[in-house]
Chain A
């Protein structure tokens, strides 16, 4: 499943249309957590993260964990400087009005798997 398809299926708002990463890349795995150390330890490279955290450190963590995209759940929006940083780091950001549980459920229904499945 490609990022654009996921965004369309889940009705996500894209915050970083300028990210020029590999938009054709398949997103096979995902992770959901608000503990950034947990994200670092367990999030799958190339995957998508669902989180409530919207501050700048999320981008650093996403970049270090080599994540392709971050979906902010619960309609939470980051500050502008976070989006600028994400574009620089090549991480796509999206917002969903749905809460974490529902976002993950829909991703799962689209075939995005957890870390070990």
Chain B
């Protein structure tokens, strides 16, 4: 544990930044993960500038423990009359001198909030303001492959219904003050919270500048998109997608078939423990790495269909229409060059629907669906998060026999079942089967670029002795909570709130069943 303190002078624009710069050096020295360092710097610098611009001077104190950074910035007034108003982006009371220097745009406190994991602002007019924020250093630091998240959060749409809390298979979602947030070290980039969120506060990040086809542009799509336009045949949809300005439209499905064969081959050689688990769904891969580390050797070391397609498309100008966050994250993890961009199915649907509507409505003939191509008898396809969890439990316990390979999909109905597609999973899958042979393409499977790695997200601490101590605290904390799992505190269960308290992400007083005296004790 390390304690640092810096005095900040009012109006000292030249000296501002010294505290945050020194803090940065300390954080780097303890080996904190670079993204956390960057966020800490931005938050600390904004807090520092706030003292310089608005106050009579103050003090920044920082405590660095191995797990987190706590920063306390206290000033000597004048105080903020309306804190929620000050938290709104664009609201500012800065002097013209500050504005001339490029500050005072009303982004300071919102910037701190965006870059910290916990923020508390208390203020008394005439007395002063205290800005306290924390940034978790450990989970990201311990997770070597700290991944960007593809989950978009539109907090203003949140109705505070908290359906997402129970939906998340890894208890990664919290809703506090009608603001959903995600613990990234626990998130597996699946679609469960998106499915649960009716108002659309939780969704898939889109390309900010919309669909921008280049002259030699390729549009890469999932089969579910091609089969998701009612009685418009797959060929028609392909044609109209090209009409949006793409030189070529390719479907990922040949790569799904190739991956399946690749998994069969691996299962036949018995090089891996059985059943071999297909990496077809990156969210399940992430789930295994996080919650079933003992099953990591079962994962076939092959690229996911999208990753394989990405390899074959090389340096071409590709727009990927991804149907879930996990696909987006996987694609962007591979050398994010300027040419590679992902968009949501909704964006593409909105662009192509008018074109389809403008066609003469001679309904395309739907041929009778053919029976599913028979795979190996001992392949188990499992879809839907609860079924995937149940099957992974069975594999882990050695109770699943007679199965040589498992093809798991987080979404109910496989990729056809993503909540981000416009058509019902069963209908789209039926239409796709009926259009068998449409959108033919060549494909192959590839070895995986990045090895699978257990994710340490659910460890309480990288240091086992500390983790053991925290486990005891967790036990005591869980006993102190009512066990009703009501979700009012913003965590999905009492056990997760207990963990939040032990990890410093929450306080016991958030529980509505805890009396004020008990709450203060925590």
Name which residue of chain A comes closest to B41, CB basis: A64
Contact of A41 among B102, B103, B114 (CB under 8 A): B114
Query: Could you mark each residue 52-92 of chain A with 1 if its beta carbon is under 8 Å from any beta carbon of chain B, else 0?
Result: 01011110110111100000000000000000000000000
Most chain A C-beta atoms within 10 Å of own C-beta, residue among B21, B101, B337: B101
Min CB–CB distance A45 → chain B (angstroms): 7
Say yes or no: A117 contacts B13, CB within 8 Å.
no
- Alpha-carbon gap, A35 to B49, bound state (A): 13
Look across to chain B and name the residue whose beta carbon is closest to the beta carbon of A33.
B102
Q: How many A-B residue pairs have CB under 8 A?
A: 73
A34 within 8 A of B: yes
Q: Spot the interface stretch: B105-113, B123-131, B302-310, B467-475.
A: B105-113
Interface residues of B, count at CB 8 A:
27
**Do B102 and A64 have beta carbons less than 8 Å apart?**
no
> How many Å lie between the Cα of A34 and that of B337 in the bound state?
27
Report if A37-B103 is in contact (Cβ < 8 Å); known contacts: A57-B13, A64-B42.
Answer: yes
Tell me whether A37 and B17 are in contact in the complex, defined as CB-CB below 8 angstroms, given that A53-B102, A113-B338 are known contacts.
Answer: no
Query: Which one of A37, A40, A56 contacts B13 once the chains associate, using CB atoms below 8 Å?
Result: A56
A77 CA to B381 CA in the complex, in Å? 65
Please give the distance in Å from A56's CB to the nearest CB on chain B.
Answer: 5
* CB-based contact B42/A60 at 8 Å: no
- In the complex, what residues of A have CB within 8 A of residue B16's CB? 57, 60
Q: Which of A36, A39, A45, A51 has the most CB of B within 10 A?
A: A36
Q: When the two chains form their complex, are residues B111 and A64 in contact, meaning their CB atoms are under 8 A apart?
A: no
Residues of A close to B42: CB separation below 8 A: 40-41, 64-65
**Complex: A53 Cα to B98 Cα, angstroms:** 12
User: Which residues of B in the span 173-221 have a Cβ within 8 Å of any Cβ on A?
Assistant: 207-209
B87-105 CB mask vs A (1 if < 8 Å, else 0) is 0000000000000011101
- 8 Å CB contact of B108 from A37, A64, A117: A37
The docked-state distance in angstroms from the alpha carbon of A97 to that of B341 is: 34
Q: Is the CB of B102 within 8 A of A34?
A: yes
Interchain CA distance A36-B107 in the complex, whole Å: 9
Known: A35-B102, A40-B45. A64 touches B17 (CB 8 A): yes
Q: Min CB distance, A41 to chain B, in Å?
A: 5
A residues within 8 A CB of B49? 37, 57
Q: Which residue of A lies closest to B15 (CB)?
A: A56
Judged by a CB distance under 8 angstroms, whether B14 is at the interface is: yes
Query: Is A11's beta carbon under 8 Å from chain B?
Result: no
Whether A36 pairs with B207 at a CB distance below 8 angstroms is no
A67 to chain B, nearest CB (A): 11
State the Cβ distance, A100 to closest chain B Cβ, in Å. Answer: 13
Q: Which residue of A lies closest to B108 (CB)?
A: A37
With both beta carbons as reference points, the residue of chain B lying nearest to A41 in the complex is identified as: B111
Query: A28 vs B338: C-alpha distance in the bound complex, in angstroms?
Result: 8
Residue B70 at the A interface, CB < 8 A? Answer: no
* A-contacting residues, B471-512, CB 8 Å: none
| A116-B111 in contact given A40-B45, A41-B42, A57-B17 (Cβ < 8 Å) | no
Q: Measured between alpha carbons, how far is A39 from B21 in the docked complex, in Å?
A: 17
* A113 vs B341: C-alpha distance when bound (angstroms): 12
Docked-complex contact A36 and B38, CB < 8 angstroms? no
Closest A residue by C-beta to B92: A37
Q: Are A40 and B111 in contact (CB under 8 A)?
A: yes
Q: Are B107 and A41 in contact (CB under 8 A)?
A: yes
* Residue-wise interface mask of B (12-25) relative to A, using a CB-CB cutoff of 8 A (1 in contact, 0 not): 01101100110010
| B46 close to A (CB within 8 Å) | yes
| Cα of A41 to Cα of B17 in the assembled complex, Å | 16
Nearest neighbor of B20 in chain A, beta-carbon distance: A64
Q: Tell me, rounded to whole Å, the shortest Cβ–Cβ distance linking B13 to chain A.
A: 6
In the assembled complex, how far is the CB of residue A63 from the closest CB belonging to chain B, in whole angstroms? 7
Is B13 a contact of A116 with CB atoms below 8 Å? no
Q: Are B107 and A37 in contact (CB under 8 A)?
A: yes
| Chain A residues near B17 (CB-CB < 8 A) | 57, 60-61, 63-64
- Chain B residues near A63: list those with CB within 8 A: 17, 21
A28, A64, A113 interface centre (most CB from chain B within 10 Å): A64
> In the assembled complex, how far is the CB of residue B113 from the closest CB belonging to chain A, in whole angstroms?
11
A21 at the interface (CB under 8 A from B): no
Which residues of the partner chain B approach A66 to less than 8 Å between Cβ atoms? Answer: 38
A11 to B451, CA, bound (A): 45
**A17, CB-defined interface residue at 8 Å:** no
With contacts A61-B45, A65-B42 taken as known, whether A38 is within 8 angstroms of B21 at the C-beta atoms is no
For the A-B complex with A34-B102, A35-B105, A37-B103 known, give 14 more contacts whose Cβ atoms are closer than 8 Å. A35-B107, A39-B102, A55-B101, A57-B16, A57-B17, A57-B102, A58-B102, A60-B16, A63-B21, A64-B17, A64-B20, A64-B42, A116-B207, A117-B338
